[in-house]
């Protein structure tokens, strides 16, 4: 089994009814689309560096016991989210509508969550609050790139499939 076939299975699962919908080759290869994905890849790279660094620094400084469990969990969640966003960006760059819509949605939701949790007094140390603010700002930049008129046009929402009428059950009033 090759990597692409595994990814197609993930696409079918994660993409739901739009799992196999892709944008036109013309829009996918448009220089503006490619530029957006290059910028997003760089921003996610900075995000990955930030998440990995935030996880590694306490370990390297011998602060393992000083860092609360909630901080370790948040650091792992941020790293996992960043890896997930990389996957979405990669699939969106290949033209998958579902991946673009997830990337756009999560790049708007995750900053709110990060800023709200960072604002809870005493939950995170100052360095973690700073990391969360930078994380949120980078994601907002990604959301801005994805929300340009060109990207919304390129990744227009696919048309809804026509509804299939339900077949009569033959039991009139059975649910009354």
Q: What is the pTM of this model?
A: 0.80
In the chain, the percentage of residues whose pLDDT exceeds 90 is 47
Q: What is the pLDDT of residue 8?
A: 62
Question: Considering only 14-18, 104-108, 148-152, which range has the smallest mean pLDDT?
Answer: 14-18
CB 96 within 8 A of CB 11: yes
Position 84 pLDDT exceeds 60: yes
Q: Which of 7-21, 29-43, 117-131 has the lowest mean pLDDT?
A: 7-21
Residues 6+ apart with CB under 8 A from 110: 81, 135, 136, 139
Residue 97 has pLDDT above 80, yes or no: yes
**pLDDT band at residue 88, thresholds of 50, 70 and 90?**
very high
Rg (CA), the chain: 21
């Amino acid at each position: 089994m090759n990597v692409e076939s595994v990814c197609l299975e993930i696409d079918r699962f994660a993409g739901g009814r739009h799992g196999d919908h892709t944008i036109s080759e013309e829009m996918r290869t448009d220089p503006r689309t490619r530029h957006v994905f290059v910028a997003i890849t760089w921003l996610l790279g900075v995000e990955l560096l930030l998440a990995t660094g935030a996880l590694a620094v306490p370990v390297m400084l011998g602060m393992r016991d000083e860092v609360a469990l909630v901080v370790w969990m948040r650091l792992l969640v941020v790293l996992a989210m960043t890896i997930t966003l990389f996957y979405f960006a990669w699939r969106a760059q290949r033209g998958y509508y579902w991946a673009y819509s997830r990337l756009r949605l999560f790049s708007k939701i995750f900053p709110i969550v990060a800023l709200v949790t960072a604002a809870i007094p005493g939950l995170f140390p100052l360095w973690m609050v700073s990391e969360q603010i930078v994380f949120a700002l980078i994601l907002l930049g990604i959301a801005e790139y994805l929300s340009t008129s060109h990207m919304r046009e390129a990744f227009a929402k696919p048309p809804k499939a026509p509804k299939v009428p339900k077949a009569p059950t033959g039991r009139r009033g059975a649910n009354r």
